[in-house]
């Protein structure tokens, strides 16, 4: 699997009175928003679990407070794009949901490779034959929830943070940095009963998330910065039909990520080889 070098266009001239566009320094504001909103609400959920469940229901994808926490990276990304580029910038940003072209090998990995790793990890656990829904069609609403909730994170992680990181770092290092932040951001979920993470070990999980971030990075770049591909990858990882594969899937995805880096080492280790645009360079910052 190889990725072609992403051609970067010089930014359009910006009037002196215009607000500066998003730069790597904007990551400080992005991460402050993500952790302030996500961890702030998450802390309230840890401290007042009973009260929140009494009002909004059990912790999980049906709980609106929990959904708000999950949405916090996406909310932060959208707010920053709107603040710096206005509605024209948001339209350009959301058009990254229409980017779907990438080499067939990446599509095979996305559609077949991810489930294969999940089932292999479950085989180590002895859970590969388990299906958590009876009757089988109970999986359908769970699939809808998995599609509409978790992948929204990608409007922030890959929508804003990864392009800005790749302006300063080679894709491998950008992916590792973002993966570490992404994994650490999930910490409150390990303290909440009712979440999948509450039954997992935090250390192996962070290793797995960093591996996933590295693995998704060349796929994202091959699709020219597609938020769609990132969202589909996130959906596959959260697929409710897959058997329980923790903690083995973390180590298996780490091995796959290492292989992807070796096969794409030139692009992964070259600064400027990744997608760096949050919005098209023809969209000027707002005044």
pTM of the model: 0.90
Q: How far apart are CA 191 and CA 176, in angstroms?
A: 24
Q: Quick count: other Cβ atoms within 10 Å of Cβ 207?
A: 18
* Whether 157 contacts 230, CB under 8 Å: yes
2 pLDDT higher than 60: no
Angle, nearest 10°, between helix axes 227-237 and 202-222?
Answer: 150
64 pLDDT higher than 80: yes
Per-residue pLDDT reduced to its tens digit, 70-126: 999 999 999 999 999 999 999 999 999 999 999 999 999 999 999 999 999 999 999
* Whether 268 contacts 172, CB under 8 Å: yes
Angle of CA points 239, 175, 230, to nearest 5°: 35
* Whether 210 contacts 183, CB under 8 Å: yes
* Whether 191 contacts 66, CB under 8 Å: no
Q: What is the pLDDT of residue 13?
A: 41
Per-residue pLDDT reduced to its tens digit, 3-57: 544 444 444 444 434 567 999 999 999 999 999 999 999 999 999 999 999 999 9
Per-residue pLDDT reduced to its tens digit, 193-225: 888 898 899 999 999 999 999 999 999 999 999
**Annotated domain spans of the chain:** 26-268
Per-residue pLDDT reduced to its tens digit, 245-285: 999 999 999 999 999 999 999 999 999 999 999 998 878 88
């Amino acid at each position: 699997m190889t990725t072609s070098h992403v051609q970067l266009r010089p930014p359009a001239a910006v009037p002196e009175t215009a607000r500066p566009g998003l730069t790597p320094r904007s990551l400080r504001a992005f991460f402050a928003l993500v952790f302030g909103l996500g961890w702030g609400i998450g802390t309230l959920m840890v401290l007042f679990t009973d009260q929140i469940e009494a009002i909004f229901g059990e912790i999980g994808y049906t709980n609106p407070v929990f959904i708000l926490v999950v949405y916090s990276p996406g909310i932060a990304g959208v707010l920053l794009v709107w603040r710096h580029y206005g509605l024209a910038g948001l339209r350009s940003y959301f058009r990254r949901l229409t980017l779907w072209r990438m080499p067939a090998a990446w599509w095979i990995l996305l559609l077949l490779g991810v489930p294969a790793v999940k089932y292999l990890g479950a085989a180590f656990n002895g859970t590969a034959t388990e299906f958590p829904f009876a009757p089988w069609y109970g999986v359908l609403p769970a699939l809808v929830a998995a599609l509409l909730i978790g992948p929204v994170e990608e409007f922030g992680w890959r929508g804003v943070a990864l392009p800005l990181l790749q302006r300063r770092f080679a894709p491998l290092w950008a992916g590792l940095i973002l993966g570490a932040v992404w994994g650490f951001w999930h910490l409150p979920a390990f303290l909440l009963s009712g979440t999948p993470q509450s039954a997992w070990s935090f250390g192996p999980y962070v290793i797995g998330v960093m591996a996933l971030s590295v693995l998704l990075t060349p796929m994202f770049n091959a699709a020219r910065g597609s938020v769609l591909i990132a969202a589909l990858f996130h959906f596959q990882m959260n697929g409710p039909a897959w058997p329980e594969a923790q903690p083995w899937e973390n180590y298996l995805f780490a091995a796959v990520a290492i292989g992807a880096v070796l096969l794409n080492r030139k692009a992964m280790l070259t600064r400027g080889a990744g997608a760096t645009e949050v919005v098209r360079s023809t969209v000027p910052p707002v005044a």
